[in-house]
Each structure stands twice: as C-alpha cells, then as structure tokens.
C-alpha cells in the first residue's frame, strides 16, 4: 500500500504531534462530504484518491505547521513537472492549485493569513492527516485486530 511512500521517522513525528482520541470516521467524515457555501457546492475530499492523498500528505508534513505555505509550495509538491514548463503552462498549474486551496479552505482545513499570500493549518487538518497516515501505515490485519 502507501506505507512505503512515507518513512517511519516521519510517521512517528506526525503521530507524536497529533494524538487523536476520536474515531477515524468522526475525524474524516466532515471533510469527505460534499459541502455548500455561499450558494456553491464543493466536492468532498477523497483521501484514497492519489491527488487528494498527496495533498493531505503535504499538509501533514511538519514543515508547514509553523510557517505555513504558499500556492507555489503545494504546486511544487503535487506537480513537480510544472517547474520545467514555460510561464503560460505554469499558470495553468497555479490555477489548479488555487482551486485546491479553496477546497481546503471551504472544508476548514486551512485558513488564510491576513494580508499575506500564505495559509496556515487548522487543528482539524492535523487530526485528519494524523488519522489518515496512521490508517494508511497499518495493514488490514492490524486494523482488524485493533477493532476487535
């Protein structure tokens, strides 16, 4: 599964930073459901889809907790090939990233820093990412034993 893409040291740091007492469904469900805001409908996040998973792993990275992040940081993480393209093509990737940021803001996972082009993580996303990383790192047999 995806456990090979995240190293054990990073996983240990993430788990230590956000111990969650709630059930996985309670933490993840609100962000995975469709949402209406200001007359617009926004899709829910699908943590098992590759792009949403990569996005959540970006948010789970401890580097973004203190200083926050910018559009460019997410774009480099999700679309590393965009750095080699010309300005017009890079602008398309920037637009995609902007829409993902809006999705995260609507679901309350990030918030904008006033008067800056920077975003900070909320407590909700730390719980979400910690729960997701833990569930992704444990094999199905281990989850079954825990649940029993």
Query: pLDDT digit of tens for each residue in the chain (148 aa)?
Result: 344 444 556 555 554 455 556 776 777 777 888 888 999 999 988 888 899 888 888 888 778 778 889 999 999 999 999 888 898 899 999 999 999 999 999 998 899 999 998 999 888 887 877 777 777 777 778 777 777 6
List all residues 6 or more positions away from 7 whose beta carbon is below 8 Å from its beta carbon: none
How many residues are there in the chain? 148
Query: Taking the model in full, what pTM does it have?
Result: 0.75
Domain segments of the chain as ranges: 22-147
CA 140, 52, 30, 131 torsion-angle sign: positive
Fold for domain 22-147? Arc Repressor Mutant, subunit A (1.10.10)
């Amino acid at each position: 599964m995806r456990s090979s893409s995240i190293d054990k040291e990073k996983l240990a740091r993430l788990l230590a930073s956000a111990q969650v007492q709630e059930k996985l469904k309670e933490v993840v469900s609100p962000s995975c459901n469709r949402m209406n805001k200001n007359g617009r409908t926004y899709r829910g996040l699908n943590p098992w889809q590759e792009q949403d998973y990569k996005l959540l792993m970006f948010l789970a990275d401890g580097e973004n907790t203190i200083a926050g992040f910018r559009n460019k940081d997410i774009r480099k993480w999700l679309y590393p090939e965009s750095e080699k393209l010309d300005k017009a093509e890079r602008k398309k990737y920037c637009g995609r990233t902007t829409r993902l940021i809006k999705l995260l803001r609507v679901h309350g996972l990030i918030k904008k820093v006033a008067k800056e082009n920077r975003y900070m993580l909320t407590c909700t996303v730390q719980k979400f990412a910690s729960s997701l990383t833990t569930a992704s790192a444990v094999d199905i047999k281990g989850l079954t034993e825990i649940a029993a």
